[in-house]
Structure 1
Amino acid sequence: MNFIYKTFFVVAFIFSSNVFSQDLNPQQEEDLEKVEQLLRENPELIPNIHRGLQRFLEQQSEQKNAFANHQEWLYQSAAHPILGDQDAPHKIIVFTDYNCPFCKKLEPGLHKLIEEYPSIQVVNIFVPLRQQQVDGLKTNSALYGLNLWRNDPKAFFEAHNLMMKKSGMHTADSLQSVAQVTSTEAFLSPSGESEAVIRKNMSAFRDLGFRGTPTIIIGQQVMPGYIPYDKLEEIATTQFNLN
């Protein structure tokens, strides 16, 4: 089984890199030769590899179309909270959740990145996958954050940082505590505007085929899961030509 997965992903990588429309680099030539040899030695695997690769290419095409359909919503809408300079030319899209431990682990790296590179802004796309409603409240952390962003951006940043620093799932007590510290208790009530934003965010998340948070889009590269700062910086500077 490991052999099948290895072969499939090597072939998929070659296809997804569009290398058949250009010259292969030495590493790609070597990989392609190894794949061909493995398949010739195990021809019974060719049908499964072929079907899997066809499905992979179909999914790539579907995701490309989904990006086109949701690009304006993700990159142009004022509904999404932004970290950094709102006029910064380079945008990193982060599908995030205040109840996600890996989103919380990623957060300091995002703040460091926008401090080191003022031309980068982080667009937060809230997708409350782990908790749609907090027990004892008619809202959740994402809806509360969106209410703040729309009505009191200054208070949003303080509340955002507090919610990201809390370990574990948010509770009615934790959200009420944040609201008391920031004097924003009124925004714990649900609003139709914020609920509509969450619905659109979830639609984009599903259409793009994402599975969990955080999911990060930097230029043309999509990365699921937590990324340490050095890797985050490397990808961002490469994608945005900031070297």
Structure 2
Amino acid sequence: MAEPLSQPRSSSFLTLAGLALLVLGALGGWAFERQRMAGAVSGSGRAAMEKVVHDYLLTHPEILPEAMDRLRAKESQKQLAGIGSRLYEAYPGAIMGNPQGKVTLVAFSDFACTYCRQSEPALAALIAENPDLKVVIRHLPIIAPTSPVAAAMGLAAAEQGKYGAFHSAMFAAGRTDPASIEAAARLAGLDLARARTAAVQPKVQAELEANIGFARTLGINGTPVWIVGDQILQGAVGKDALAEAVATARKS
């Protein structure tokens, strides 16, 4: 599961319904075009062909999940292509795993996100098992009023080369109130005066705004979200799903 950005959880049914209609239309159009090219039907036969597809889907609804997964994959590829390489360019120091890794995983996260915190063991295991994995952290401070403050301090920690320690301390704390943020900063060994100055720099705010822009462009509506290769995985999907996506990206 994922904590929401702007789209309510109740919209998931409408999303699936919309995808089903898109699948139906796409399959009907494909079948009609194949038949038309073969000379089997005329333009007026499209409605009849779509009815055949409609009736088949009602009889065999089990094919819809696979079709919708493929449709989502194609949409993800289009969205990612529209952003290009910018998505994979980390804020200096906001990286986990191997900074020179050949495979890149982009993680949209919020220190106040319960599901992000629950995903930490999976992420740690994934990094340990994949020495060629580079994890680019993109803070999406959307959950709590203090999320932006915590995210800004995370980027300040990144500038001091101590992002990983601060990241672990924040999720271990489980809160993003000012006291927890300062305690995590001290535990990570930050120069607090320097970090406080860095956290309010325009480039930090620009980074957080850019992350929100990426999320909107990609249709991301909550955290955590994982992007690797041409796949977008939303929610606390677990290590196995992430490992499979990483392995697929490595082969491509």
**TM-score when scaled to structure 2?**
0.68
1:188 aligns with 2:196: yes
Deviations along 1:25-60, one digit per CA (max 9) or x if unpaired, are: xxxxxxxxxx965723899xxxxxxxxx9xx89x93
SS at match of 1:95: strand
**TM-score when scaled to structure 1?**
0.70
1:126 aligns with 2:139: yes
SS at match of 1:238: helix
Q: Following TM superposition, where does structure 1 have runs of at least 4 consecutive aligned residues deviating by more than 4 angstroms? A: 12-15, 18-21, 35-38, 63-66
Deviations along 1:114-146, one digit per CA (max 9) or x if unpaired, are: 211111111111110113547xxxx61100000
Q: Does the 8 Å CA contact 1:83/1:123 hold for their aligned counterparts?
A: yes
Larger mean Cα displacement after TM superposition, 183-192 or 215-224: 183-192
Structure 1: how far apart are the matches of 2:52 and 2:134? 46
Q: Offset at 1:160?
A: 1.1
Q: Does the 8 Å CA contact 2:109/2:225 hold for their aligned counterparts?
A: yes
1:86 aligns with 2:103: no
Structure 1: how far apart are the matches of 2:154 and 2:21? 39
Amino acid in the other structure paired with 1:40: D
Counterpart pick for 2:149 among 140, 143, 150: 140
Q: What's 1:109 paired with? A: 122
Paired residues for 1:1-243 under 5 Å: 5=17, 8=20, 11=23, 39-40=54-55, 60=75, 64=77, 66-79=79-92, 81-133=94-146, 140-150=149-159, 152-153=160-161, 155-167=162-174, 169-184=175-190, 185-186=192-193, 187-189=195-197, 190-241=200-251
* Total equivalences in the alignment: 206
Instruction: Give the unaligned 5+ runs of structure 1.
Output: 22-34, 44-52
SS at match of 1:122: strand
Q: Offset at 1:158?
A: 1.2
Instruction: Give the unaligned 5+ runs of structure 2.
Output: 1-12, 34-49, 59-67
Q: Offset at 1:217?
A: 0.9
Structure 1: how far apart are the matches of 2:21 and 2:168? 38
Q: Offset at 1:100?
A: 0.5
**Cα-Cα RMSD:** 3.8
Q: Does the 8 Å CA contact 1:99/1:131 hold for their aligned counterparts?
A: yes
Q: Offset at 1:105?
A: 1.2
